[in-house]
Amino acid sequence: MAHRKQPPSFCYSRTDPSPRFDSLDIACNKKLCGVILLLLGVSNLQQIEPRKPKVPCYFIFGDSLVDPGNNNELSTSAKSNYPPYGIDFPHGSTGRFSNGRTAPDFFAQYLGFENIIPPFTTAKGEEILQGVNYASGSAGIRDETGTKLGINIGLNKQLENYNITISFIVSILKAKDSATKYLNQYLYSVGMGSNDYINNYFKPGYSTSTKFIPEQYATILIEQYSQQLTTLYSSGARKVALGGLGPMGCTPDAVASHETYGKLCVEEMNNAVRIFNDKLKQLVDELHEKFKDAKFIFLDNFGGLIKHISILGTNYKITGCCEVVKETGQCVPNTAPCRNSNLFIFFDSFHPSEAANPVTATSQITSLHCLFDTNGFGYS
């Protein structure tokens, strides 16, 4: 029996930041070093100007880390379509939970798309052939996750919305076979699970933390996630990048509301993240083996940021750039943020600033090549 050729080891690497970061003299002032690392990530991606898209289409599933405005018209406190959000974004306060661009915006720029990937709620006509973003603030793998904040679009519903998009693509291309061919070449980015901890497991009012220890809870999440990703595969996805969870124990909200015991971050929360990420890496291997005609990769959202945060040292105070509403950790509407947002890792109590997002993005680009042919990106 022929064995399936395995992709290069870096496709499954537990990604560290790009080597150019490691070459810096860490003996310099720690806070300054951290800032330099963030700005290097921004400038590196801003210099990339490919002439044509490296992939035909880019679909995005996720939560507030990548939500471009799908929550704007929902009855929920998890929305950010007001200043100071978007203060550094060309289109203003679109509903992104940041002062500027999010990781998908940087990815889209790298991939060569002239326009940002539109949210599902406003995507129309032939623009959907270049991609759609289905992400929703406070959403999770579990349907009840984040619902104490109001209505959101959980992953199950995002998958339903994706199927609506498929029907439009079939209509535009005039043939289901043509649509299937295109879907097989598209890039799918899925990043879920953060809210299943922040707005579920570690949130008062939810019973999951009293029913399950972290190991059990992660297993339950991964089992449901596996079913959802199988549904995505059945709907045409063949090149899927799965984002691991970031260091949620290092957010301003976490360090302000939990005991850190002399450490920079809340280790209880980060340990739960590590358990989930380890199981997600195992799931990637299982999906890769189960679906021979598809490629799944794990993208590390933990290692890069945790390393940069650690460089800042224990004397560094993790805070956001804007004044926040205590109950939600989001920016107080229409208030002035800090003057130097590019020096902050976080914009509010949960979400990265525009300066921090490229740190994650640059460390993942190499892995994205593994989803396509051996020469990198390409499509017919």
Within 125-266, residue ranges assigned H as helices are: 155-173, 176-185, 194-196, 208-211, 214-234, 252-257
Q: Does 3 participate in catalysis according to the annotation?
A: no
Chain-centre distance for alpha carbon 12: 17
Strands 239-243 and 295-299 come out as: parallel
Chain-centre distance for alpha carbon 218: 18
Q: Does 226 participate in catalysis according to the annotation?
A: no
Strands 58-62 and 239-243 come out as: unpaired
Strands 295-299 and 187-191 come out as: unpaired
Residue 242 · residue 190 · CB < 8 Å: yes
Q: Does 143 participate in catalysis according to the annotation?
A: no
d(CA 9, CA 201): 33
List 67, 253, 300, 348, catalytic entry: 348
Among candidate residues 136, 65, 135, 134, the one with its CA nearest the CA of residue 102 = 65
List 64, 341, 353, 367, catalytic entry: 64
What Å distances lie between residue 194 and 182, 316, 325, 331, 347, CA to CA?
Answer: 30, 24, 20, 19, 17
List 288, 308, 351, 369, catalytic entry: 351
Residue 294 · residue 237 · CB < 8 Å: yes
Token pair recorded at residue 88: 């550094």
Token pair recorded at residue 102: 């999010």
Query: What is the gyration radius of the CA atoms in the chain, in angstroms?
Result: 20
For the sheet containing 131-133, what is the strand order? 131-133, 58-62, 187-191, 239-243, 295-299
Catalytic residues: 64, 348, 351
